[in-house]
């Protein structure tokens, strides 16, 4: 199993959007351990508390506060950063919020992607040789047919809710820009080629996620407050995976794009092993058991909005062409979450807990 190479990332300039979110904060810590120089562009941390603030990540990177919809500011910041690699994680990431704020969801997830691609175009046209763009979307970008097998990268895009649909649109926008503006052309031939890919992960979980409306944060909030847990869709099946699984996949993909842009410029799934696609109720029961103290849950009487019931990813492509493999099982992921949350409860240094998890993951997962 391959892992991102620290010798490759040492000194690489990375422009990371959405760095103040849960996944973005973990990405900052991971890139820091690999020796990359990170410029982050995002709105302020979306929750109180937040992993970003608890770990004082602004002391590790150059952070710029800005909205992905602010086209000029985004472009100016990227031009100033002169990055080698761009990783796009800024998004409106919640299905429930997308029903309440559909316009803002499309503006952020679709036009935000357009503005970033335009900024990369502007950078390349002014001689800044950006070599890689990885656009992180979601497993929910597929037209969900409630299949019992995993979705492959060639399957039809869609999305019932505004969030999922907007991410499918972002996939199409990325493919269009790649074909229309970044493959060939006189301006592009004056510098090394750029690799552009999209990355679709499963339901990522991990310590430090305080986002309301997500299952594990809601479960932990109930456990910390001593309240019964309410489950929206207990029988829904999701591809659960620790956040470090997907982040290592994104960075490995970025390395490959840097080395051979034409071969790896496409869409990629980074999902867990088939055995780790579990129901919501299974996950809640296991988390309660690991937490102890007679933690319990209840099933909500009705669901406020539509959500898919069955969702799996087929990651054969990443396994065969990137030599990427999931490493931690969902049971191990839940163990790490409980460990992180207990440390947070006891006012321990959460940055050190995260770094210890990163070190453990990389050590156990091979070189």
Is 293 a member of any domain? yes
Q: Please report whether residue 206 resides in a domain.
A: yes
- C-alpha–C-alpha distance, residues 293 and 61, integer Å: 39
Token duo for residue 166: 């907007």
Geometric angle at alpha carbon 91, from 200 and 107, rounded to 5°: 120
- Is a pLDDT exceeding 60 seen at residue 88? yes
Q: How many domains does the chain have?
A: 1
* Average pLDDT score over the chain: 92
Domain assignment of residue 1, yes or no: no
Residue 87 belongs to a domain: yes
Per-residue pLDDT tens digits for 141-169: 999 887 778 899 999 999 889 999 999 99
Give the per-residue pLDDT at 305. 52
Name the nearest CA neighbour of 274 among 231, 310, 323, 244.
310
On the question of pLDDT at 229 being above 90, the answer is no
With respect to residue 36, please indicate whether it lies within any of the assigned structural domains.
yes
CATH number of the domain where residue 187 is located: 3.40.50.720
CA dihedral 22, 157, 1, 61 (to 10 degrees): -30
Q: How confident is the model at residue 295 (pLDDT cuts 50, 70, 90)?
A: low
Range of the domain at 145: 6-364
CB neighbourhood size of 103 (10 A): 9
pTM metric for this prediction:
0.94
Asked if residue 332 belongs to a domain, the reply is yes
Taking the C-alpha atoms of residue 7 and residue 259, their distance in angstroms, rounded to an integer, is 14
* Cα-based distances in Å from 206 to 10, 68, 310: 26, 25, 22
Q: How confident is the model at residue 227 (pLDDT cuts 50, 70, 90)?
A: confident
């Amino acid at each position: 199993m391959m892992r991102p190479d620290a010798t490759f990332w040492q000194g690489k300039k990375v422009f990371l959007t959405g760095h103040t979110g849960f996944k973005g904060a973990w990405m900052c810590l991971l890139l820091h351990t690999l020796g990359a120089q990170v410029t982050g562009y995002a709105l302020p941390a979306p929750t109180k508390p937040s992993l970003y603030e608890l770990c004082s990540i602004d002391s590790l990177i150059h952070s710029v506060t800005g909205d992905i919809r602010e086209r000029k500011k985004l472009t100016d910041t990227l031009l100033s950063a002169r990055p080698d690699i761009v990783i796009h994680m800024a998004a409106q990431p919640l299905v429930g919020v997308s029903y309440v704020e559909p316009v803002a969801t499309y503006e952020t997830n679709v036009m935000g992607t357009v503005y970033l691609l335009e900024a990369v175009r502007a950078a390349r046209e002014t001689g800044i040789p950006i070599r890689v763009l990885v656009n992180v979307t979601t497993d929910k970008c597929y037209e969900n047919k409630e299949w019992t097998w995993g979705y492959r990268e060639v399957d039809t895009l869609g999305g019932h809710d505004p969030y999922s649909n907007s991410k499918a649109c972002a996939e199409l926008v990325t493919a269009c820009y790649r074909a229309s503006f970044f493959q060939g052309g006189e301006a592009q031939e004056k510098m090394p080629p750029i690799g552009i890919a999209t990355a679709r992960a499963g339901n990522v979980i991990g310590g430090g996620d305080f986002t309301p409306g997500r299952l594990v944060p809601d479960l932990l909030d109930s456990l910390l407050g001593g309240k019964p847990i309410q489950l929206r869709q207990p029988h829904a099946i999701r591809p659960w995976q620790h956040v470090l699984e997907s982040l290592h996949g994104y960075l490995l993909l970025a390395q490959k794009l840097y080395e051979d842009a034409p071969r790896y410029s496409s869409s990629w799934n980074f999902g867990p092993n088939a055995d780790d696609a579990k129901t919501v109720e299974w996950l809640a029961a296991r988390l309660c058991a690991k937490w102890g103290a007679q933690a319990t849950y209840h099933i909500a009487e009705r669901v406020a909005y539509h959500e898919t019931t069955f969702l799996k990813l087929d990651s054969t492509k990443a396994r065969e062409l990137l030599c990427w493999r999931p490493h931690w099982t969902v049971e191990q992921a839940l163990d790490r979450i409980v460990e992180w949350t207990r440390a947070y409860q006891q006012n321990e240094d959460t940055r050190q807990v995260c770094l210890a998890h990163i070190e453990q993951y990389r050590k156990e997962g091979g070189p």
